[in-house]
Structure 1
Amino acid sequence: MKCYDCDLSGGSGTPIGVCSRCGLVICREHGRVTEAVVHLSRGPGRSTSDRPARRAVCHTCYGAEHPA
């Protein structure tokens, strides 16, 4: 597989993962690794983990989630 954006631009980035939002293959140049809050299935009280998880997103989805 190739990074989608590298394929469009003629680049040759090594794929590092798949965008968790849109599902396209991404490389280090075109992807971002961000934190994600983990919600736990629990009863009353706190329902989020103390530690954030990691998730990979492409630069397009990252821009849509974090508008300037």
Structure 2
Amino acid sequence: MHCLDCRAQGTTSTAVGVCHDCGAAVCHEHTLVANRVVRGGPLLGRPGEVMARTIRCTTCAAVQAA
């Protein structure tokens, strides 16, 4: 699979991940890794929280930052 942003620029790079928001394949250069909180656990009582990674393309990362 190839990076969608590189392809739009007329180059070819191997994708290293998929954007969590839009599903585009992204290379290392066009990837932004962010942390997010994932909540889970029992339905009754206090849920637990863990940190997880989220991969975003530079376009979706810019929208999230705004």
Q: Given the two structures, how large is their TM-score scaled by the length of structure 1?
A: 0.82
Helix, strand or coil for the counterpart of 2:45? Answer: coil
- The alpha carbon displacement at 1:31 in A equals 1.1
Letter in 2 for 1:59: T
Letter in 2 for 1:11: T
Aligned-residue CA RMSD in angstroms? Answer: 1.3
State the distance in 1 between where 2:21 and 2:52 align: 15
Helix, strand or coil for the counterpart of 1:5? Answer: helix
State the distance in 2 between where 1:18 and 1:48 align: 27
Letter in 2 for 1:5: D
Q: Given the two structures, how large is their TM-score scaled by the length of structure 2?
A: 0.85
Aligned length: 65
State the distance in 1 between where 2:21 and 2:59 align: 10
Aligned match of 2:33: 33
State the distance in 2 between where 1:40 and 1:30 align: 30
Structure 1 or 2: more strand by fraction: 2
State the distance in 2 between where 1:31 and 1:20 align: 11
Counting aligned pairs with the same residue, the percent is 34
Structure 2 unaligned runs (5+)?
A: none
